Amino acid sequence: MTDLFRPITVLKGVAKKRAELYGKLGISTPFDLLYHIPRNYIDYSCPVLINEAALNENNVVAGTIVKKFPEQKIRQGLTLYKAVVNDGRNPFTVIFYNNVYAFDALTEGEDYIFYGKVTGNLLSREINSPKYIPAGSGVTLKAVYHLTAGLTNTMVRTNIADSLRIFESEPFEFMPDYIIRENGLCSLGYALKNIHVPESAEAMRAARRRLAFDELLNLQLGMRMLRHRNSDAKAGCVMDEKISVDEFRDGLPFAMTGAQSRSVDDIVKDMCSSRPMNRLLQGDVGSGKTAVAAAACYFAVKNSCQCALMAPTEILASQHFRTLSGFLSPFGIRVCLLTGSMTARQKNAVKSSIELGEYDVIVGTHAVIQKDVVFRKLALVITDEQHRFGVAQRNALAMKGEKPHKLVMSATPIPRTLAMMIYGDLDISIINELPKGRMPVETYAVTGGYRERAYAFIRKHVQEGRQAYIVCPVIEQSETDLKSAVEYKENIELNHFPDYKVGLLHGRMTSAEKDEVMNDFKEGRVDILVSTTVVEVGVDVPNAVVMMIENSDRFGLSQLHQLRGRVGRGSEKSYCILVTDNRSEEVKKRLKIISSLTDGFRISEEDLKLRGPGDFFGNRQHGLPALKIADLATDSNMLSVVAENAERIISEDPELMNPENQGLRSEVMRLFSAAHD
């Protein structure tokens, strides 16, 4: 085994303590360290004169060391080291705090290029704790890394230099030659060297392109391998294509949209196949995904099978139970609810009936995947709000049946290019039409100076018998944030809405408490609901027609759109008021987009351009490999090229067993195993 894959202590200077620090960054081998990609670069190529440097900002300046002063002990534990530098026109001072090594490395009469924050005034300027390189060293870009306390950039650079030497002594390449040649990629060795120690900006870009291509290709290959393996599996229940869902469609109190009908047809066709369905049903808020899921349940039950739907919260599970019961009960289909807050006696009774096959459709939270829940014949598994469930949870539910059909519902509109990456192992059905009669929510962005008018607007609608949401931006469920939400509720209750019932909903409440508040709101016992973002995924309250979102600049476009989707669920005209005093150009641009667009897919594309794929591809991936190099916002053009390469490779070699693909196979396995550690 090459030293690249041995414990990182094989590197000079890395003992147990530093190895533990690297471990915090997910780095355990020199190879891992080579993939610890710089978060930024200092560009030393264009220094400015000290008098032209922007004050209180980081600048690159060059000069000759004129004089080094003796150390100054300011107090216990604080020693200053100063040197005067001249840039050819004006002198300035560089100051180091408790860093004798950096100071001693400077030599009087020698030229250096410095990087750091310039402070002072027109007459006197200085740079505190600068980074620097000798002038004429040939370095133009210097890498800056994500660190943890105890690690420095110098340590990381030194250890990476050692890792690069190991790679150069035992070089290898896992990408097939024809892929490198056809896509104009540089070699792996060139990429790893120039991502850390770039010869030039152009070399760094070529290195980054190669490594991003690798990462996207490995991810695509892994997802396609999963899809191919699923295609080889035999479904536990192959359903009868002669059974029609027309009776269900005709019995609905509304006509399905074309997109809903197409989705139902996709699902029915999948469930009649010999391989298990593995489909994503993606639709905007209010697009009617639950009606499509109900049609899938109807078809499965008519084929003498059971269905299970798992929702992330009890609030949502209860809503699905009510909605599915309304759709399916008229056809004699028996629906039950199983949640964690039920009493032991209630749970046992429901579980017993599930095992006996007395219930056809089982709706619940993660309670439905507990070991003691046994199904008689589970053939369809539905999970709602994909990003809130881990891969392990979805698989645990699927294991309750024998190779059941799987349907994943997501109300988070994601651009198709991104969906291809996140859901590459799933077929995708998109509901991109809203049901007839649904009016778009009018959206207005205002400053805090309009808050009183917004309250008056809410009061007017509440007087007319309507209801309203006010969302507070509790980002973390900390005591301070919750206190501010509680105080906000008490303030508006006392000073603005004394004649109306104001409720409060937040993430620290128990499921039972949340259910009680939401039920009171749904039943009209609460007029105005002050809520944190837990209402983003909530029950339908058709009578709620106004939503006011405080400090709306704290949210991304997609989240604002999700929140806004809580109103406009009925036939009445609905409104969303976005309040913020942040008047930066970026915030203005975002709020203009959300105010003018109602299509969640277009909004998500704009969100991707503005903020990158954080929400879609950060902590919410749950089991998918994290992207360290590729940026889906800037590398979107590469996606289609990568997809074509991945499709060709898998079609010719589904398990990557051919000799030229062995390197790819090892990288895919490494990538996906790391995601599940």
> Is 668 contained in some domain?
no
Q: Are 593 and 606 in contact (CB under 8 A)?
A: yes
The answer on 115 and 11 residing in a single domain is no
Asked, for residue 636, whether it belongs to a domain, the answer is: no
Specify if 487 maps to a domain: yes
Structural domain count, the chain: 4
Q: What's the pLDDT tens digit per position in 33-73?
A: 999 999 999 999 999 999 999 999 999 999 999 999 999 99
Alpha-carbon separation of residue 426 from 198, 283, 386, 472, 483 (angstroms): 39, 15, 12, 36, 42
pLDDT at 22 over 50: yes
Task: Retrieve residue 59's tokens.
Answer: 């600048």
What are the angstrom distances between the C-alpha of 107 and each of 45, 71, 97, 371?
A: 21, 15, 18, 71
CATH code, 312: 3.40.50.300
CB 175 within 8 A of CB 663: yes
Q: Which of 93, 115, 139 is the last residue of a domain?
A: 139
Let me know if residue 315 belongs to a domain.
yes
Q: Do 307 and 383 lie in a common domain?
A: yes
pLDDT digits (tens, 9 = 90+) for 73-100: 988 889 999 999 999 999 999 999 999 9
Q: Are residues 193 and 320 in the same domain?
A: no
What pLDDT is attached to residue 669? 86
Tell me which of 199, 218, 237 is where a domain ends.
199
- Residue where a domain terminates, one of 399, 431, 463: 431
Q: Are residues 99 and 165 in the same domain?
A: no
Instruction: Return d(Cα 358, Cα 351) in angstroms, integer.
Output: 10
Residues 114 and 193 reside in one and the same domain: no
- Same domain for 419 and 470, yes or no, is no
Q: What is the pLDDT of residue 372?
A: 87
pLDDT at 619: 37
For residue 285, give both structure tokens.
């808020």
| 318, pLDDT greater than 70 | yes
Question: Is a pLDDT exceeding 60 seen at residue 624?
Answer: no
299-319 average pLDDT score: 89
Are residues 483 and 460 located together in one domain of the fold? yes
Tens-place pLDDT, residues 334-390: 999 998 888 999 999 999 999 999 999 999 988 887 888 899 999 999 988 654 555
Q: Are 84 and 157 part of one and the same domain?
A: no
CATH of the domain at 118: 2.40.50.140
Give the mean pLDDT of the chain. Answer: 87
- Which pLDDT tens digit goes with each residue over 500-551? 999 998 877 887 788 788 889 989 999 999 988 766 556 678 899 999 999 9
- The SS3 call for residue 247 is helix
- Residue range(s) defining the domain that contains residue 21: 3-41+152-199
Whether 194 and 293 share a structural domain? no
**Does 420 lie in the same domain as 354?**
yes
Of 143-147, 259-263, 436-440, 664-668, the range with the lowest mean pLDDT is 436-440
Pair (283, 405) in one structural domain: yes
> Is there a domain that residue 223 lies in?
no
CB 339 within 8 A of CB 314: yes
Q: Which among 96, 91, 116, 92 is positioned nearest to 106, based on CA atoms?
A: 96
User: Would you list the DSSP string of 45-80?
Assistant: SS-B-GGGSPTTEEEEEEEEEEEEPPPEEEETTEEE
- State the pLDDT at residue 475: 46
Query: What is residue 480's predicted lDDT score, i.e. its pLDDT?
Result: 54
The token pair at 245 is: 């869902």
CA 53/CA 131 separation, integer angstroms? 16
pLDDT band at 618 (very low <50, low <70, confident <90, very high): very low
Same domain, 33 and 123: no
* pLDDT (tens digit per residue) in 89-128: 999 999 999 999 999 999 999 999 999 999 998 789 999 9
Q: What percent of the chain has pLDDT over 90?
A: 57
662, part of any domain = no
Average confidence (pLDDT) over 662-677: 78
- Asked if the structure places residue 210 within a domain, the reply is no
Supply the DSSP symbol for 296. Answer: H
Q: Is residue 675 part of a domain?
A: no
